[in-house]
Amino acid sequence: MRTRPTSIRRRLMGLILVSVGAVWAVMFAWSVNNAAREVDEWDDARLIQLAHLLVQLDGPDLARLAAAGLDVRNEYTRASRAVHDDSDAQPRDALFEVRNAAGEVIAASPDIAALREPIARDETAEGVHRLTLHGESWLAYALADSATGRRVRVLEPANLRSDLTSGVSSRIARPIVFALPVLALLVWFSIGHGFRPLSAISKAVRTRDARNLEPIHVDPSPAEVRPLVDAINQLLARVQQSIQRERAFTADAAHELKTPLAAIKVQAQVALAAHDGAQQQQAMQRVVQGVDRSAHLAEQLLLLARLDERETLAHSRVRLHEVASEAIAFRAPHAEQKSMAVALTGERDAEVHADRALARTLIDNLLDNAIKYGDVGGRVHISVLADAQTVSVTVSDNGPGVNDEERARLTDRFFRGASASASGNGSGLGLSIVSRIAAHSNARIHIGSGIGRRGLAVQIAFPRAPDLRAKAAEKS
C-alpha cells in the first residue's frame, strides 16, 4: 500500500506549536504557583501589619475596635453581585486579643474567648501559622512588643475559596488562548515563505527535460538551500558527462568498427566470387583476421567504457614482474613472427596494490604496441624497478619511434602516429587504455625514447604496496 508523503511544513508547524504550547504550559503553571504564593504572602503580611497596629492603640480605641469588629475581606462588591462562591467578597472578621506586661487582657474580640484553650496549645508556634479550631481553618499570629511589654494575638478565618489566584490565572491564560491561533497562522505563512526556495528548486527540476542538463539557479538562495542546489547541479554535471561519454563511445565504436566490417564484407565477397581454392582460402583467412581485429577493438572499447565510468574493481597485491612474464608468454608467437627478442629484467618480488586483470591489460597493450610497431628482428625490453615509494614497469623498443609532436598525443583516443597509419595496424586505443588504467591505479605515466635512444619507452610508476615482512618485524 502506498504511504502518503509527509509534509515538512506540517511537521514543522506541529513541532513549533507543541514546543510553544509546552513552554507556555510550564510558564502558566509557574505563574499560577507564584500567584498563589503571593496571595498567601499578602494574607500573612496583612495579619502581621494588623498586629503591629494593635500594639500602638490605647485602651479605649482597642475596646471600640473590639466592639465594632475587624472585617478583613479582600473585596467589596455591589449588592447585586453574587458572592456565594467567592470568600474574598464575603464578610470575614478577624479576632484579636491584647495583653499588658502583667498578662492582663486590655482588649479582646468577644468571640476569642471560646478559642483561647486550643490556641494555648500553639503558644510556641512562630510567625504566621495555620490552626484548626472547632473544625475550621484559621490563620494566627502572635506579637510580643518589647517597648510596651504588650502581647498581641490576631486570628482570621482562612480564605479557602479565594478567586484571586484563579483570576490571575485566567488573565494569564486568556491572551494565550487568543494568541495561539494567531501564532499558528503566522507560523504557517512564515514556514511557507521560508520554503519558497525549495518550491522554486522543485519547479525548476520538474520543468526540465532529458535534454536540458544546465545548472539550476535559484535567487535568492538561502545558505541552507545552497548545498542542495550545489548537489543537484553536481549530479546534473555528472549525468551530462556520462551522456557525453556514452555518445562519444557510440560514435567511436561506430566509426572504428566501420572499417574492419567493410573489409570483412569485401573479403567475403571475394571468397564467394573466387573459383580458385587458394584464392578463396586466402580471402577467408582475411575474413577471420578482420573478425579478430573487430573483436579486439570491441573489447578495447568496452574496457575504456568501464574505466570511464570509474567502475569499482577489486585491488590486490600484484607482482608486476610476474604479470609481465605472463604477457611475454602470451605475445611470444607475435614476437617470433617478426623475429623480435623480448627480455625481462628487474625486481621479482616488488608488489603494488592494483587490479591484476587491469595490470595485465596495461603491460599486454604496451608489449603489443612494441611488437606491432617495432622493426623485424628488433628488440623489446621490459624492466621492473622499485624504490621506497614506487614500483615502475618500463617497456622499451628500438623501432622507428615517433617525433616529439606525435609523442604528446599518443594517449589520445584513436590517435595513430605516422608509422602506424602507414602500416595500417592498430586502432589507436592501446596507449589511451594504458593511460586510463594508470589513472585508475593512481600511477604516473612517462613516455620517452627507447633502446639506444631509438624507438619508444613507456614507463608506468605505481605506488608501492607496504612490505608485509617489514611490518611483521616492526610489530614483533
Cell representation of residue 183:
501564532
DSSP state of 145: -
226-304 is a CATH 3.20.20.210 domain? no
β-partners of residue 140 are 129, 155
Cell representation of residue 338:
617478426
Q: What does each C-alpha distance from 299 to 256, 293, 295, 310, 368 come to in angstroms? A: 12, 10, 6, 17, 15
CA 302-303-309 angle, 5° bins: 90
Q: What does each C-alpha distance from 413 to 127, 368, 376 come to in angstroms? A: 101, 17, 27
Contact 101, 168 (CB under 8 A): no
Which of 354, 273, 288 lies closest to 317, judged by CA? 354
Contact 390, 464 (CB under 8 A): yes
Domain limits, CATH 1.10.287.130, in the chain: 226-304
Quote the crossing angle between the two packed helices 430-440 and 277-308, to the nearest 10°: 30
Which of 292, 226, 281, 247 lies closest to 427, judged by CA? 292
**Cα(124)–Cα(115) distance, rounded to whole angstroms?**
16
**Cα(327)–Cα(380) distance, rounded to whole angstroms?**
13
pLDDT tens readout for residues 401-451:
777 777 666 766 655 555 554 344 555 566 777 888 888 888 898 888 888
Which of 329, 362, 332 lies closest to 437, judged by CA? 362
CA 172-176-178 angle, 5° bins: 125
**Cα(85)–Cα(330) distance, rounded to whole angstroms?**
109
**For residue 39, what pLDDT is reported?**
77
**For residue 1, what pLDDT is reported?**
47
- Count of all residues that appear for the chain in the document: 476
Q: Express the helix, strand and coil content of the chain in percent, nearest 5 each.
A: 55, 15, 30
Contact 426, 372 (CB under 8 A): yes
Domain limits, CATH 3.30.450, in the chain: 8-74+85-167
Contact 154, 54 (CB under 8 A): yes
**Measured in whole angstroms, how far is the alpha carbon of residue 391 from the centre of its chain?**
39
DSSP state of 216: P
**For residue 380, what pLDDT is reported?**
93
pLDDT tens readout for residues 441-458:
888 988 888 888 888 889
Which stretches in the chain have pLDDT values below 70?
1-5, 75-89, 114, 116-126, 160-166, 220-221, 245, 248-260, 293, 296-297, 300-301, 303-314, 407-409, 411-430, 467-476
Class of domain 8-74+85-167: alpha beta
Backbone dihedral angles phi then psi of residue 447, each to the nearest 5 degrees: -115, 125
Give the DSSP per-residue string, 401-447.
---HHHHTTTTSTT---HHHHHHT---S-HHHHHHHHHHHTT-EEEE
Please, where are the H alpha helices in 3-159?
Answer: 8-56, 59-68, 116-120
Q: What's the topology of domain 315-473? A: Heat Shock Protein 90 (3.30.565)
Domain limits, CATH 3.30.565.10, in the chain: 315-473
